[in-house]
Amino acid sequence: MQNQTNSRFHLAFPVTDLEAARTFYCNILNCKTGRESDRWIDFDFHGHQIVAHLVAPEDHPMASTNAVDGQAVPASHFGLILDWDQYQLLVSRLEELAVEFVIEPTVRFEGRRGEQTTLFICDPSGNHLEFKAFRDISALFDKGLDTY
């Protein structure tokens, strides 16, 4: 599939408390809401549509991890790739709001092709979000062995 500048992704994910999700995505991540019902809320996630669907706590999946550059990365996560300056602004905002990091802001693959800065946070339902920025965005889809 060819990448188009007007392409958007859609992601549906489970939450155990819709109002807590609304507060987190709107107040912490500055998302606007779209359509909603008593069972789901659409959020504008930097131009992409993510939809929080209400599930019972016992039906929310548990997250396992994979080792990436010496860290236990949540296997189930989503997020955004920002430019370097946007990423730094987000880090400052999260720190000002005292958001707890699952993985503190860190640089991965330092000095190698694919160098990136990344962080992980959780929403109130335990969904992991990753935000990252590449030193050189042209390395985003490189298959080079030195990136991982």
Phi, psi of 102 (to 5 degrees): -75, -45
Binned at pLDDT 50, 70 and 90, residue 125 comes out as very high
The answer to the question of residue 5 being in a domain is no
Residue 54, Cβ density class (10 Å: 0-12 exposed, 13-18 middle, ≥19 buried) = middle
Taking alpha carbons only, the member of 25, 44, 24 closest to residue 34 is 44
Residue 3 maps to a domain: no
- Domain of residue 111 covers 10-147
- Tell me the H-state helices in 11-127: 18-23, 84-96
Model pTM greater than 0.95? no
70: left (phi over 0), alpha (psi -120 to 50) or beta: left
Tally of CB atoms within 10 A around 130: 17
What CATH number is attached to the domain comprising 29? Answer: 3.10.180.10
Residue 104: enclosing H or E segment and its boundaries? strand 101-108
Q: What percent of the chain has pLDDT over 90?
A: 67
Whether 54 shows a pLDDT value over 60: the answer reads: yes
What are the tokens at 48? 């992409």
pLDDT of residue 6: 73
Overall domain count for the chain: 1
| Whole-number pLDDT of residue 145 | 46
Q: What is the mean pLDDT of residues 80-105?
A: 96
**pLDDT score at 76:** 86
- On the question of pLDDT at 63 being above 60, the answer is yes
- Residue 61 within a domain: yes
Assigned token pair, 12: 């549906």
